[in-house]
Amino acid sequence: MKFAVLTGGGDCSGMNAFIRAIVRCSINIHPETSVYGVIDGWKGLIYNNYRKLDKLAVAGIASQGGTILGTVRVQDLVTNTSLQETICQNLHDNHFDYLFVCGGNGSVKASNTINTYMRREGLRTRVLVSPGSIDNDVVNNAGSSIGFYSALDKSLEMLEWIRDTASAHRRVYLIKSMGRNSAYLAFYAGIATGAEYVIRPGEEVDFEKIATMIDERDRDTRIIVAEGYEKSLGEIREILEKLFVKRDLHHEIRSVDMSYFQRGGSAAVTDILRASWVAFCMVKDAFKKCGSGFYTAFYTGHHFPVIPLEIAADDELTSHEDIPADILELALALQ
Ligand code: F6P
């Protein structure tokens, strides 16, 4: 068989472990298999840019952050039908039996569109997808994305560093976290580090209450702001500073952005293991000539049913942007 492996969307730690496992499992199970890496994500499929991968090409990369194949965003892929047709025809003409994808929200939607076109036109390639994103906004009601726990580890470390300087100066820190529209990364990081407050996208924030909390603590206060929240760190700072003046309170505020740092660095062991497991399951199923589908990244060794791509691509059915009520309760219980 002939396989292609692609990493799409924002990079995350764990993608390299996925690539390595696709290559190694394929060649070790059936040595005659050829595996090609798609260079620069979806863009590589538009321009037929591939690199043949053997076992040596993926040696020593499992814990490495980023993706050795690269990932370039193609903004209009989900809407541009001529790009989609080009990709489908290229996959077919290159005789790829399966395309293995590790990517976020956009990649799941693109995979679904491409698979629909392929099936309708009777083309060759089947598409197997796994969630890879720090945002954890892909089918997160059944497991979590590869890369999410790695980004949490980095966030936790940064938040602990900020605590050191914040407590030395008794300051308030506004700390921006990535996550697109999803509250997961910011909120889970907040729980893990014991941040005083996490502002979630769409939240009606009671700034008076936050000002009171800051004053009552009268020491370090870390407020994490999720990327999807409507106000910038500067705007939040201005609101709080005005409240301090109005109430004759004296607190210093600083701001810091963790964003791109959260994406880099070595992968968490849980992400390496889950990425390897998911890739292994995909490859075994491909050798059984399975249909296209979405593989959740649950526990290593756990066989979660494969989800049809059209369901995985429907956020309404499979993903929460806000966190579930019982996790909110956990955060309150820990305060
Ligand atoms: O989807 C992953 C992510 O890191 C989001 O959290 C963020 O909104 C986005 O990518 C940033 O993308 P870019 O690297 O294109 O700026």
Residue with tokens 């798609």: 38
Looking at residue 196, what is its pLDDT? 96
Q: How far is the CA of 104 from the centre of ligand 1 (A)?
A: 10
User: Mean pLDDT across the stretch 288-298?
Assistant: 95
Q: Judge whether 253 and 237 are in contact, CB under 8 Å.
A: yes
Q: Judge whether 20 and 68 are in contact, CB under 8 Å.
A: no
Q: Which residue has a Cα nearest atom 13 of ligand 1?
A: 10
Sign of CA dihedral 164, 263, 295, 184: positive
User: Mean pLDDT across the stretch 108-133?
Assistant: 97
Looking at residue 271, what is its pLDDT? 97
Calpha distance 35→53 (Å, rounded): 6
pLDDT band at 299 (very low <50, low <70, confident <90, very high): confident
Looking at residue 298, what is its pLDDT? 82
pLDDT band at 141 (very low <50, low <70, confident <90, very high): confident
Domain ranges of the chain: 2-147+267-318, 150-263
Q: Give Cα 208 to chain centroid, integer Å.
A: 33
- Domains 2-147+267-318 and 150-263 agree in fold: yes
User: Mean pLDDT across the stretch 43-55?
Assistant: 98
What is this structure's pTM? 0.96
Active site (annotated) includes residue 220:
no
Q: Which residue has a Cα nearest atom 10 of ligand 1?
A: 10
List ligand 1's pocket residues with C-beta within 6 A.
Answer: 9-10, 73, 104, 133-135, 178-180, 227, 263
pLDDT band at 161 (very low <50, low <70, confident <90, very high): very high
Atom of ligand 1 nearest to the CA of 135: 6
Q: What is the CATH number of domain 2-147+267-318?
A: 3.40.50.450
Percent of the chain exceeding pLDDT 90 equals 92
Q: How big is the chain, counted in residues?
A: 335
Q: Which amino acid is at 77?
A: L
Identify the active-site residue in 40, 54, 76, 135: 135
Calpha distance 171→43 (Å, rounded): 45
Q: Which residue has a Cα nearest atom 15 of ligand 1?
A: 10
Q: What is the tens place of the pLDDT at every residue in 176-233?
A: 999 999 999 999 999 999 999 999 999 999 999 999 999 999 889 999 999 999 999 9
Looking at residue 133, what is its pLDDT? 97
- Check if CATH label 3.40.50.460 holds for domain 150-263: yes
Contacts (Cβ under 8 Å, ≥6 apart) of 211? 240, 243, 244, 247, 249
Calpha distance 123→328 (Å, rounded): 46
Q: What is the tens place of the pLDDT at every residue in 72-118?
A: 999 888 889 999 999 999 999 999 999 999 999 999 999 999 999 99
